[in-house]
A = this chain, B = another copy of it.
Amino acid sequence: MSEGRAVPEATVARLAVYLRVLSTMCDGGVLTVSSEALANAAGVNSAKLRKDLSYLGSIGTRGVGYLVEVLRERISTCLGVSEHRAVVLVGIGNLGHALAGYGGFRSRGFRIAGLFDADPNRVGEDICGLRVRGMADMQAVVTRESVSIGVIATPAEAAQEVCDRLVAAGVTSILNFAPAVLVVPDNVDVRKVDLAVELQILSFHEQRKAAGLTVVL
């Protein structure tokens, strides 16, 4: 395990959480942290946390723990957010507005390189210093600013079309908020966030809890 080699998918997701916790600790002036303490703060098992960190190479000090600043830097590098990464956002409706104004982008390693919408009435609008552009400008912005990630917040019907345009422009990772399954080339990664799916998973567990109670009654 010399260098960040073959990091499991599940570990990557947790590294992002550790990074957030570490940033908070760093701001709070904490210098070192043990696997136990960090695991607690991140809501995971300490053994799992140590195994996760071991993929980045031996970076802790036995008997002491980890240097917060060093660990934070190491995870940032592994996740590719040590430099700000450019993102474009397409579909500046209700959700898009919230996302465009969200400070968490910048503080967590991303930079909004452009806002895009197909509606001419929205084009030109200013959101927190960023101007909404028409779809025609997308190709140029993606190329000029080396944008690698696109966020889709359009209605589901438009999602595939927007996705195709993003891919054609050179984007190779997509975060999709629209409830639609996207078809993309092999070299493009897609992640989806579906509010209703999350709620339905919770609903399923509620269902089970209720069934359990019924038996008890």
Contact = CB atoms under 8 A, between A and B. Distances in A.
Contacts of A210: 80
A195 to B, nearest CB: 6
Contact of A191 (B13, B102, B202, B209): B202
Main secondary structure, interface of A, reads: helix
A207 to B, nearest CB: 3
Nearest to A77: B207
A113 interface: no
Size class of the A contact interface (CB-based, 8 Å) = 35 or more
Nearest to A203: B80
A173 interface: yes
Contact of A20 (B80, B105, B179, B183): B179
Interface string A19-57: 111000000000000000000011100000000000000
Given A79-B203, A108-B199, A173-B206, 15 more contacts: A12-B201, A15-B200, A79-B201, A80-B203, A85-B203, A85-B206, A94-B101, A95-B98, A102-B195, A105-B195, A105-B196, A110-B196, A149-B199, A175-B198, A189-B205
Interface of A: 7, 12-13, 15-17, 19-21, 41-43, 78-81, 85, 87, 94-95, 97-99, 101-102, 104-105, 108-110, 148-149, 172-175, 179, 181-183, 187, 189, 191, 193-207, 209-210
18 contacts: A16-B194, A16-B200, A42-B181, A43-B182, A78-B207, A80-B204, A80-B206, A80-B210, A85-B203, A105-B195, A108-B199, A109-B203, A149-B202, A172-B209, A173-B203, A187-B209, A189-B202, A193-B193
